[in-house]
A and B are shown apart, each in its own frame.
Chain A
Amino acid sequence: PCRAQPKKKKKVDLKREQAQKDRMKKKIKKLEKAAPEMIPIEDFVTPFKYSDGSRVRSLPPLSFEETERRVLLLKKWCLFKQKQDEAEKKAIRTLMEAQQEALKELRLESEELYEAAIKRDEGLFPFERDGPNYTPPLPGYDPPEGKCIDITKVYTQ
């Protein structure tokens, strides 16, 4: 009598435990198979408080002359940008040609110098430069102090 009862408990418990473990594993597999949730892009979602129409600006409608002026200005801008782009491309082309000519002449001179010139310059990239600002830096300027706390939401998949 003493031996029979513990044996039954062990078997039944083991089977129950194994069944539970299998069920858990199946659930985990199902969750993993499901596609991961997309991270919402905060710029594309208008927040709820701006969805009512109370914030619409009330401006007088555009006159005919104004629309005409705008269309003509856009056409002028298109032409201006096209000319600018062409000039840039031409400048780059002359740059490339000048360099090719220089390398050709160098090759005529000596092969070893040419090989040394062809080699990649490892120290060149990454190339960093602070872009031009509107005004030059003010000497002796003391910027006001403050702490910047970053509150961007970080999503993990």
Chain B
Amino acid sequence: AAAAPRPWKLFGAMCLLRLPRITQPLQKEEEEMEALMGQIELEKSCYSDHEIRKLQEEEQLRRKKESIDDDDDDRGGGPGKTVIMAQDLEEKWEQKFLRFEAAPRVTDADRNNTRTSLDRRLDSNLLLLVKQKIGSQDLWLLPQAEWQPGETLRSTAERAMATVLGDHIQAKVLGNAPHGIYKYKFPRAIRTEDNVGAKVFFFKAFLQSSDLAQAELKRDYLWVTKDELGGYLKPEYLKKVNQFLLD
């Protein structure tokens, strides 16, 4: 196979995904269903120990208010005792919960729409795009590198990723097989018998480390979601990439 000249040039491209860190917002039907499930669970359940205690204390309070004569006798019996009511406990827990502040789901990067940051759109997949020079044009595409004889396509894709992001990147490549292919023919000016066009094989990888401070990013890069891809990629390329990208 090495003897016959191949008319197609081979490229390996890496589709690096940053997986979502927070859950997606619920849709209307899901919210309604969640409320209904909560109601049904409440109806089918029995009283817990805490609730029984609360009910009993409410009974006692009501009885004390109605019959004030008994109240004085009780007070005389144990002046030093402070009884913690279930209601007080609940209020204490409520206060503690309100004091806690969780990290916001919509980050600063979201508000400023800084597409180079990884903190944007924490609820969806982010894909890495780089600006590379193909022929005479500067195009936005997935990082790719030309295949060299002696290496597998997967290592080509990994090399492409390393040239863009540096060697210390931790990504889990999903298997040895390519997930998609984009075939294109060179414009007639460059096309020869031996060099008809190029085939770009896409590999998928998940980004493991969330901190890319060590990465040496030499070129223009962007982290975009699947719906934003349309603004950057060419239509044919976009069609092929969309086939193997799950939302």
A interface list, Cβ under 8 A from B: 50, 55-57, 59, 70, 73-74, 76-77, 80, 91, 94-95, 97-99, 101-103, 105-106, 109-113, 116-121, 124, 127, 129, 132-139
Contact = CB atoms under 8 A, between A and B. Distances in A.
Nearest 6 Cβ contacts at the A-B interface: A102-B181, A55-B46, A98-B243, A135-B102, A102-B178, A116-B152
Nearest to A88: B246
Interface in B153-168: 153-154
B185 to A, nearest CB: 14
A82 B166 CA distance: 44
Nearest to A103: B177
A86 to B, nearest CB: 14
9 contacts: A50-B46, A57-B42, A70-B36, A77-B32, A106-B201, A121-B173, A124-B175, A132-B123, A136-B107
Given A57-B42, A136-B103, 15 more contacts: A59-B43, A74-B36, A77-B29, A102-B177, A103-B177, A105-B201, A106-B153, A109-B6, A109-B10, A112-B1, A113-B10, A117-B153, A117-B177, A119-B176, A133-B21
B105 interface: yes
Instruction: Decide if the interface of chain A is mainly helix, strand, loop or mixed.
Output: helix
A55 B178 CA distance: 60
Interface of B: 1, 6, 8, 10, 19-23, 27, 29-30, 32-33, 36, 42-43, 45-47, 52, 101-105, 107, 122-123, 152-154, 172-181, 183, 199, 201-202, 206, 240, 243-244, 246-247
B46 A118 contact: no
Nearest to B105: A135
Contacts of B104: 135-136
A118 B177 contact: yes
A136 B21 contact: yes
Nearest to A118: B177
Contacts of A76: 29, 32
B45 A137 contact: no
A137 B103 contact: yes
A125 B26 CA distance: 31
A109 to B, nearest CB: 6
A132 B20 contact: yes
Find the residue from B47, B101, B240 having the highest chain A CB count within 10 A: B47
Nearest to B247: A91
B176 A117 contact: yes
Given A50-B46, A102-B181, A124-B175, A80 B29 contact: yes
Contacts of A119: 176
A82 B128 CA distance: 33
Contacts of B246: 91, 95
A99 B179 contact: yes
A97 B176 CA distance: 17
Contact of A105 (B21, B42, B199): B199
Find the residue from B101, B201, B202 having the highest chain A CB count within 10 A: B201
A105 B244 contact: no
Find the residue from A70, A97, A102, A112 having the highest chain B CB count within 10 A: A102
Given A80-B29, A110-B1, A116-B152, A102 B180 contact: yes
Contact of B199 (A74, A109, A138): A109
